[in-house]
């Protein structure tokens, strides 16, 4: 697939230069990085290995395949969909157009949930699991805990099942089709959720990677972005063990509103707000 540079053959360096130009012209946010990730994927090597081989030549098949990947990215298809996976909490998570792509900021949700769940062995639930990224990360790090993972989309649950199988946690993650908490067979000690929290206005202004390619249902939080949180709190009481915790990823301006919604259902609740690395509100943690 690669050889020492020869006359008429495009080198890795030249292929990257051209791809960077094409993606920059298409106003892709990270053109150079994306060009490198896509070529490494096409060659079946790591980015580090790629950058150590800048003067090697590509054969025609690899070059043509790479051009096709760059064309897809120039249309703003997310890189994760093109290569079929996304790194999340140190794990390779398979993704495609049936599910949204795990974001780095959601790793904070995992950290907070892990800190809570390590205090006991009671079952927990991830609501709206999508690709299963959060549930899988929790299961890998909590070998003593059983986890329910719910989603309204059968197609999303198919992806989640593949990720559970890939990481050998399918025996401890129970995938349930249903609306939020309705399919739970027993009360749980911890609810973990990254629900749709974009307002309709924010969704309309979302970048094409989101608006054109990712499932709208994964982002549409209603007029003000809070619809699914209201529904979750309304469903929650019969599905919780005493003194259960609810751990929610939220939009940067939503923490106080979600605090108020939560206290309507749980007046005596204790609420903490955890910020992300940018100093923005990211997780609301509620002890009922």
At residue 44, the pLDDT reads 95
Specify if 179 maps to a domain. yes
Q: Whole-number mean pLDDT of the chain?
A: 94
Residue finishing a domain among 75, 99, 119? 75
Residue % of the chain over a pLDDT of 90: 91
Measured from the Cβ of residue 119, the count of other Cβ atoms closer than 10 Å reads: 10
Specify if 101 maps to a domain. yes
Specify if 164 maps to a domain. yes
3-class state of residue 203 by DSSP: helix
At residue 118, the pLDDT reads 80
Checking DSSP bridges between strand 281-287 and strand 270-275, what pairing results, if any?
antiparallel
> Do 116 and 19 share a structural domain?
no
Measured from the Cβ of residue 263, the count of other Cβ atoms closer than 10 Å reads: 14
> Do 17 and 56 share a structural domain?
yes
Q: Using the predicted structure, report yes or no on whether residue 6 has a pLDDT greater than 70.
A: no
Specify if 183 maps to a domain. yes
> Do 26 and 159 share a structural domain?
no
At residue 2, the pLDDT reads 53
At residue 181, the pLDDT reads 97
> Do 237 and 141 share a structural domain?
yes
Specify if 83 maps to a domain. no
> Do 196 and 55 share a structural domain?
no
Q: Using the predicted structure, report yes or no on whether residue 4 has a pLDDT greater than 80.
A: no
At residue 227, the pLDDT reads 95
> Do 158 and 45 share a structural domain?
no
Q: Are 197 and 226 in contact (CB under 8 A)?
A: yes
Q: Using CA atoms, how far apart are residues 180 and 128, in angstroms rounded to an integer?
A: 7
pLDDT band at 5 (very low <50, low <70, confident <90, very high): very low
Residue 185 has phi, psi (to 5 degrees) of: -85, -10
> Do 117 and 155 share a structural domain?
yes
Alpha-helical segments (H) within the chain: 12-25, 31-43, 47-51, 60-74, 79-83, 106-117, 133-141, 154-166, 200-204, 208, 227-235, 255-265
Residue finishing a domain among 46, 75, 104? 75
Question: CA dist 76 to 28, 32, 39, 268, Å?
Answer: 7, 14, 17, 46
Residue finishing a domain among 17, 49, 75? 75
Q: Using CA atoms, how far apart are residues 265 and 260, in angstroms rounded to an integer?
A: 9
Q: Using CA atoms, how far apart are residues 246 and 232, in angstroms rounded to an integer?
A: 10
Q: Using CA atoms, how far apart are residues 180 and 148, in angstroms rounded to an integer?
A: 11
> Do 261 and 137 share a structural domain?
yes
At residue 208, the pLDDT reads 94
Q: Using CA atoms, how far apart are residues 65 and 2, in angstroms rounded to an integer?
A: 14
For the entire predicted model, the pTM comes to 0.92
Q: Which of 224, 274, 220 minimizes the C-alpha distance to 247?
A: 274
Q: Which CATH number do you get for residue 116?
A: 3.40.50.150
Specify if 81 maps to a domain. no
Q: Which CATH number do you get for residue 47?
A: 1.10.8.10
The two structure tokens encoding residue 139? 């299961």
pLDDT band at 1 (very low <50, low <70, confident <90, very high): low
> Do 156 and 40 share a structural domain?
no
12-25 vs 31-43: helix crossing angle, rounded to 10: 130
At residue 7, the pLDDT reads 47
Number of H helices, E strands in the chain: 12, 11
Q: Using the predicted structure, report yes or no on whether residue 75 has a pLDDT greater than 60.
A: yes
At residue 99, the pLDDT reads 98
**Residues shown for the chain:** 288
Q: What is the pLDDT of residues 88-98, one digit of tens each?
A: 999 999 999 99
> Do 236 and 174 share a structural domain?
yes
pLDDT band at 119 (very low <50, low <70, confident <90, very high): confident
Specify if 23 maps to a domain. yes
Q: Using the predicted structure, report yes or no on whether residue 132 has a pLDDT greater than 90.
A: yes
Q: Using CA atoms, how far apart are residues 203 and 216, in angstroms rounded to an integer?
A: 8
Q: Using the predicted structure, report yes or no on whether residue 3 has a pLDDT greater than 60.
A: no
> Do 245 and 116 share a structural domain?
yes
At residue 9, the pLDDT reads 85
Angle at Cα 150 formed by Cα 146 and Cα 152, nearest 5°?
170
Residue % of the chain over a pLDDT of 70: 97
2-11, 90-99, 157-166, 192-201: range with lowest mean pLDDT: 2-11
Angle at Cα 264 formed by Cα 263 and Cα 267, nearest 5°?
50
Mean pLDDT of 40-65: 95
> Do 201 and 62 share a structural domain?
no
Q: Using the predicted structure, report yes or no on whether residue 243 has a pLDDT greater than 60.
A: yes
Q: How many structural domains is the chain composed of?
A: 2
Q: Which residue has the tokens 């005596």?
A: 268
Residue 31 belongs to domain spanning:
2-75
Q: What is the pLDDT of residues 256-267, one digit of tens each?
A: 999 999 999 999
Specify if 84 maps to a domain. no
The two structure tokens encoding residue 52? 């150590």
């Amino acid at each position: 697939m690669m050889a020492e540079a020869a006359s008429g053959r495009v080198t890795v360096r030249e292929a990257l230069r051209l791809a960077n130009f094409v993606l920059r012209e298409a106003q892709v946010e990270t053109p150079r990085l994306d060009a490198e990730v896509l070529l490494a994927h096409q060659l079946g090597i790591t980015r580090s290995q790629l950058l150590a081989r800048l003067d090697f030549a590509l054969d025609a098949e690899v070059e043509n395949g790479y051009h096709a990947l760059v064309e897809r990215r120039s249309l703003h298809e997310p890189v994760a969909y093109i290569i079929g996976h996304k790194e999340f909490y140190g794990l390779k998570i398979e993704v495609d157009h049936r599910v949204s792509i795990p974001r780095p900021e959601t790793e904070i949700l995992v950290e907070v949930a892990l800190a809570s769940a390590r205090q006991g062995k009671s079952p927990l639930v991830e609501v709206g699991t999508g690709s299963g990224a959060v549930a899988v990360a929790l299961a890998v790090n909590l070998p003593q805990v059983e986890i329910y993972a719910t989603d309204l989309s059968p197609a999303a649950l198919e992806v989640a099942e593949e990720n559970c199988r890939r990481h050998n946690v399918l025996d401890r993650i129970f995938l349930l089709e249903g609306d939020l908490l309705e399919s739970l067979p027993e009360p749980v000690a911890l609810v973990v959720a990254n629900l749709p929290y974009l307002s309709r206005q924010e969704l309309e202004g979302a970048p094409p990677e989101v608006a054109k390619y990712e499932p709208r249902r994964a982002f549409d939080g209603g007029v003000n972005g809070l619809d699914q949180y209201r529904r979750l709190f309304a469903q929650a009481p019969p599905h919780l063990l005493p003194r259960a915790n609810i751990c929610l990823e939220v939009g940067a301006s939503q923490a106080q509103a979600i605090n108020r919604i939560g206290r309507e259902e749980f007046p005596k609740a204790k609420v903490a707000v955890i910020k992300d690395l940018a100093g923005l509100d990211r997780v609301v943690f509620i002890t009922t």
